[in-house]
Amino acid sequence: MNSLKLAAKILIYGTLLIVAALILYWLVFHSRWSWFVEYLPLLIKGLWLTILLLVLSVVLGGLLAIPIGLVQVTGPAPLAWAAKTFCTVIRGTPLLVQLWLIYYGLGSLFPQIGMAYPGFKENFMWLIRLDGFYYALFAFTISFAGYEGEVMRGAFLGVPRGELEAARAFGMSPWKVLTRVWFPRAVRFVLPTLAGETVLQLQSTPLAFTVTVMDLMGVTSKIRQDTFRIFEPLMLLAVLYMCLTFVIVWGFSFVEKMVPQKR
Amino acid sequence: MPRAFFFWGIMADKPGFPEILSFSPTGYGDELAWAAAISISIAILAYALGLLIGIIGALGKLGGSELTQKVLHGYTTLVRAVPELILILLLFYAGTSGLNALLAEAGFESITINGFIAGVCVLGFVQGAYSTEVLRAAIQAIPIGQIEAARAYGMSPFLQFRRITLPAMLSFAIPGMANLWLIVTKGTALLAVVGYTELTLATKQAAGNTKMYFTFYIVAGAIYLCVTLLSEQGFGWLERRVRRGQRALT
C-alpha cells in the first residue's frame, strides 16, 4: 500500500514536472512576443471596451431585473406571465444565438425598412449604421436581466411576510413599502450571489468579438490573424481574464463587508 | 402596406417562409435536424465525460493526499476563472497541434482531429471542473453521523459509497447537476466559434444563404428551448424520485 502511494505520488509529480518543463521550454525557445509592444495600445482599448461592456450590461441588466422579478411576485397576471416567459426563453437559449439573432436579424431589418421608407433612412441613419458594440450591449443586457430577474424573484419572495405586513400596518403606501422595506431587504439576499453572476457575465463578454467588436477577444483574434501566432495571444488573454475575475471577486467581497448584515 | 411589411420583415424576411424549413432538398429542415442531433450528442457525451471527471475529482478532493487536493484545486480554479470560449479555443488549437507535435516527434504522420471528438473532450474537460465542485459540495452536505454509522457497521468503503454516500448525496447533487446539463447544452453553441458545424453554425450558414435571419435564429432558439424545457421536466422527475421519503423543502 505504501509503495503504491509512493508510485502514485511520483507519477503525479513526474507528469506535472514534465508538463511544466514542456511549457517552460516552449515559452523560452519557441514563443514570440515581439508583437506585444506594437499592439499594446489596441489591447488597452480592447480592455476598456470589455470593461465597458461588462459594467454597462450588469448595471442596465440589473436595473431591468428589478421590475422583472417584482411583477412575477406581485402580478398582474399577464405581466407576471410575460416576465416568466422572458426569463425562460433567455435562460433556455444560448447567448450566442441571442446575439446573432439580434445582430444579424435587427441589423438586416433596419436597412430593409430604410429601403422601403426613405424618411426612415434620413432620420435614422445612425440606426442603420449602428456599431456592433451596441448590438452586443443590448444582447448582454437582456441576457443578464433574464438571469438576474429570476434571482430577484426569489429574493423578493424570500423577504418574510411579517415585515411587509408590519410596514403596511405603519400606514406606508405600497411604493414606500417597496422602497423602504421590501427592496432593501431583497438586495441583501442578492448581494452574495452578485459576484458570481458578474463573473459569469464577464466570461460571456468575449462572444462580442463574433459581431466585430474590438474588445480584448477581438484584438486578440486580430493579432492571431496578423502575426500567425496562436498560443501567445490566447495565453495573454486567459491571464488577463483571470486577473479581471479576481478583481471582481475581491471588489464584491469588499462591498459586502461594507454593507451591515444581521446574522 | 406597413403592417404586411412588418409581418414579413419580422416573421419571414422574405416570401417562401414555411417551405424553406421543409425536409426536401431545397429546404433547410433536414440540415437543422441533423445539426441539432450532433449538438445533443456532443452535449450528452461531454456531460458524461464531465461526470466521470467530477466523480474522480470529488473523491480525490475529499479523500486524496495533499498533493492530489492541490492539483485538483488548481484545475477547478483555473477552469472556472477563464472564460469557456477562451478555454475552448486554447484546448482546440493546443490539443490538436500538441498531439501532432508529439506524433511527429514519435515518427508518425500528423492527423486531423475529428471536430466532434475534440468538442466532446474540450467541453467535458470544462464540465469536469464544475461537476467536481457540485459533487464535492453534495458529499460534504451529508450529515457526518450517517457516514460514521456506516463505518461503525463495518461496511467496506465501496459498500459504504454504494449504500450510504451515493443515495444520500443524490438529492443534494441533482439540482446542481441539472444546472450543469443546461449549461453544457448551451455550451455546445460555442463550438460554432471554432468553426465546427453544430446547430448554431448550421443556423448561421442557412440564415446567411437565405437572408432569412429572424426565421432561422428563432427556429434554432426554439430547438434549444425545447431541449431545456424537456430536460427540466426530466430532472424534476428525477429529483422527486431521489427525494422520496424526505421532508419537502421550505
**Predicted pLDDT of residue A138:** 92
Of A96, A98, A108, the CB nearest to B190: A96
Of A13, A16, A234, the CB nearest to B89: A234
Closest CA to A201 of A43, A56, A42: A56
**Predicted pLDDT of residue B52:** 93
**Predicted pLDDT of residue B1:** 44
CATH classification of the domain holding A199: 1.10.3720.10
A206·B229 Cβ contact <8 A: no
DSSP A171: T
Number of domains chain A is built from: 1
10 Å CB burial of residue A37 (0-12, 13-18, 19+) is exposed
For A144-158, letters b (16+ CB in 10 Å) and e give bbbbbbbbbbebbee
Q: Express each pLDDT in A191-209 by its tens digit.
A: 878 888 888 889 888 888 8
What chain B holds in terms of domains, given with CATH numbers, is: 31-242 (1.10.3720.10)
C-alpha A160/C-alpha A142 separation (Å) is: 29
Q: Select the more confidently predicted residue: A127 or A177.
A: A177
- Check: CB of residue A163 under 8 Å from CB of residue A79: no
- Check: CB of residue B61 under 8 Å from CB of residue B72: yes
Q: Select the more confidently predicted residue: A183 or A123.
A: A183
- Within a domain: A76: yes
| Highest mean pLDDT pick, A146-150, A185-189, B99-103, B193-197 | A146-150
A97·B225 Cβ contact <8 A: no
- A interface with B, Cβ–Cβ < 8 A, is 5, 9, 12-13, 16, 88-89, 91-98, 100-101, 104-105, 107-109, 112-113, 116, 202-207, 210, 217, 230-231, 234-235, 237-238, 241-242, 245-246
- Within a domain: A221: no
Q: Select the more confidently predicted residue: B70 or A261.
A: B70
Amino acid in the structure at residue A39: Y
- Check: CB of residue B226 under 8 Å from CB of residue B201: no
Q: What is the CA radius of gyration of chain B?
A: 23
Q: Select the more confidently predicted residue: A117 or A68.
A: A68
The average pLDDT across A239-256 equals: 87
- Within a domain: A174: yes
Name the residue range of residue A136's domain. 51-212
Task: Find the residue in A nearest to B190 (Cα).
Answer: A96
Residues of A in contact with B182 (CB under 8 A): 91-92
B224·A97 Cβ contact <8 A: yes
- Check: CB of residue B127 under 8 Å from CB of residue B165: no
Amino acid in the structure at residue B188: T
**Grid coordinates given for B207:** 440564415
Per-residue confidence band for B227, with pLDDT thresholds at 50, 70 and 90: very high
Task: Find the residue in B nearest to A89 (Cα).
Answer: B225
pLDDT at A33 over 90: no
Whether B235 has its CB under 8 Å from any CB of chain A: the answer is: no
Per-residue confidence band for B107, with pLDDT thresholds at 50, 70 and 90: confident
- Within a domain: A1: no
**Grid coordinates given for A220:** 486578440
C-alpha A20/C-alpha A15 separation (Å) is: 8
Of A12, A105, A207, the CB nearest to B217: A105
Residues of A in contact with B213 (CB under 8 A): 100-101, 104-105, 107-108
- Within a domain: A39: no
C-alpha B124/C-alpha B44 separation (Å) is: 10
Task: Find the residue in A nearest to B201 (Cα).
Answer: A97
User: How many helices (H) and strands (E) in chain B?
Assistant: 10, 0
The average pLDDT across A163-171 equals: 84
- Within a domain: A3: no
The average pLDDT across A75-100 equals: 89
Element (H, E) at A12: helix A2-25
Q: Select the more confidently predicted residue: B30 or B145.
A: B145
The average pLDDT across A204-224 equals: 86
The average pLDDT across B141-170 equals: 86
Amino acid in the structure at residue B34: W
B200·A246 Cβ contact <8 A: no
Of B67, B189, B213, the CB nearest to A96: B189
Element (H, E) at A199: helix A183-204
Residues of B in contact with A217 (CB under 8 A): 85-86
B82·A94 Cβ contact <8 A: no
Per-residue confidence band for A262, with pLDDT thresholds at 50, 70 and 90: low
Per-residue confidence band for B231, with pLDDT thresholds at 50, 70 and 90: very high
Residues of chain B numbered 129-188 and touching chain A (CB < 8 Å): 182, 186-188
A91·B86 Cβ contact <8 A: no
Residues of A in contact with B207 (CB under 8 A): 100, 104
Distance from CA of A84 to the nearest CA of B (A): 13
pLDDT at B72 over 80: yes
- Within a domain: A151: yes
- Angstrom CA distances, A49 to A100, A143, A251, stand at 19, 18, 19
Residues of A in contact with B233 (CB under 8 A): none
**Grid coordinates given for A189:** 439576499
The average pLDDT across B49-61 equals: 89
C-alpha B118/C-alpha B120 separation (Å) is: 5
- Within a domain: A188: yes
Amino acid in the structure at residue A12: I
Whether B10 has its CB under 8 Å from any CB of chain A: the answer is: yes
| Highest mean pLDDT pick, A50-59, A187-196, A229-238, B213-222 | A50-59
pLDDT at B102 over 80: no
Residues of B in contact with A105 (CB under 8 A): 213-214, 217
Residues of chain B numbered 190-219 and touching chain A (CB < 8 Å): 190, 192-193, 200, 203-204, 207-208, 211, 213-214, 217-218
